[in-house]
């Protein structure tokens, strides 16, 4: 900025001491320093506002570029990058067409099977149904259980064979 050498600074100091006087010199230096601080802060604010305006201008330019680029342009660019010959796209379309045909065929077969099942159930005669079997009851036996004590004609009780004595 200013190109001041030692000789110029010495000249300014001598003139200041002569004009202001040694008694008022500290107060004058303090006031000059406060003024310098204010100038620096104003310069810093100015610089930051200029930087902010530059960033806003850059952002506005970027935003405009993004708005100018339409979705079709991106889609076309991606398609050209991924499948420049169009071979993959045609294969995918053909596969989709085949899958749709298979789905229609399966849907039709499912409807036919459902119709046939309903038809078979509705045309079934009651005589075609097998008769339900009644559950068989086990035959009751009058034999005494194996652990029961049998009595003889004499009225005396016998213990079963092989029992504890």
Would 128 be classed as within a structural domain? no
Q: pLDDT band for 165, please (50, 70, 90 cuts).
A: very low
Which tens digits make up the pLDDT trace of 20-53? 888 998 999 999 999 999 999 999 999 999 999 9
Do 59 and 103 reside in the same domain of the chain?
A: no
Interacting residues of 82 by C-beta distance below 8 A, sequence separation 6+? 88
pLDDT digits (tens, 9 = 90+) for 60-104: 888 888 777 765 577 777 778 888 888 888 888 999 999 999 999
Please indicate, yes or no, if residue 89 is contained in any of the structural domains.
yes
Domain count, the chain: 2
Contacts of 16 (CB under 8 A, 6+ apart): 25, 28
Q: Does residue 139 fall inside a structural domain?
A: no
Q: Which two tokens stand for residue 101?
A: 């045909």
Burial of 63: CB neighbours in 10 Å, binned 0-12, 13-18, 19+ = exposed
List of residues 6+ apart from 72 with CB closer than 8 A: none
Residue tagged 């259980």 (tokens): 145
Q: Is residue 134 in a domain?
A: no
Q: Tell me which residue range forms the domain holding 35.
A: 8-68
Q: Is residue 91 part of a domain?
A: yes
Query: What pLDDT score does 44 carry?
Result: 95
Paired residues of 157 in beta bridges: 151
Specify whether 63 is located in the same domain as 92. Answer: no
In a domain, residue 3? The reply is no
Tell me the average pLDDT across 6-21: 89
Q: Are 40 and 88 in the same domain?
A: no
Same structural domain for residues 47 and 12? Answer: yes
Residue with tokens 């802060």: 41
On whether residue 129 sits in a domain, the answer given is: no
Q: Which residues pair with 151 in a beta bridge?
A: 157
Task: Tell me the per-residue pLDDT of 97-153, one tens digit each, with 9 for 90 and over.
Answer: 999 999 999 999 989 988 888 888 888 755 555 555 555 555 555 555 555 454 455
Same domain membership, residue 63 and residue 23: yes
The torsion angle over the Cα atoms of residues 39, 42, 48 and 54, rounded to 10 degrees, is -100
Between CA 124 and CA 126, with CA 122 as vertex, the angle to 5 degrees is 35
Asked if residue 92 is part of any domain, the answer here is: yes
20 Cβ partners below 8 Å, 6+ apart? 28
The b/e string for 129-144 (b: 16+ C-beta within 10 A; e otherwise) is eeeeeeeeeeeeeeee
Tokens at residue 96, please?
Answer: 């989709």
Are both 52 and 103 inside the same structural domain?
no
């Amino acid at each position: 900025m200013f190109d001041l050498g030692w000789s110029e600074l010495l000249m300014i100091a001598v003139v200041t001491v002569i004009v202001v006087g040694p008694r008022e010199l500290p107060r004058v230096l303090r006031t000059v320093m406060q003024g310098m601080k204010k100038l620096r802060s104003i310069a810093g604010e100015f610089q930051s506002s200029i930087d902010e305006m530059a960033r806003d201008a850059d952002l506005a330019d970027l935003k405009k570029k993004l708005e100018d680029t339409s979705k079709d342009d991106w889609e076309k660019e991606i398609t050209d990058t991924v499948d420049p010959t169009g071979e993959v796209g045609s294969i995918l379309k053909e596969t989709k067409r085949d899958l749709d045909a298979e789905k229609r065929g399966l849907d039709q077969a499912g409807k036919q099977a459902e119709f046939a099942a309903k038809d078979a159930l509705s045309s079934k005669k009651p005589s075609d149904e097998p008769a339900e079997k009644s559950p068989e009851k086990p035959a009751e036996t009058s034999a005494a259980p194996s652990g029961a004590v049998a009595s003889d004609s004499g009225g005396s009780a016998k213990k079963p064979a092989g029992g504890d004595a």
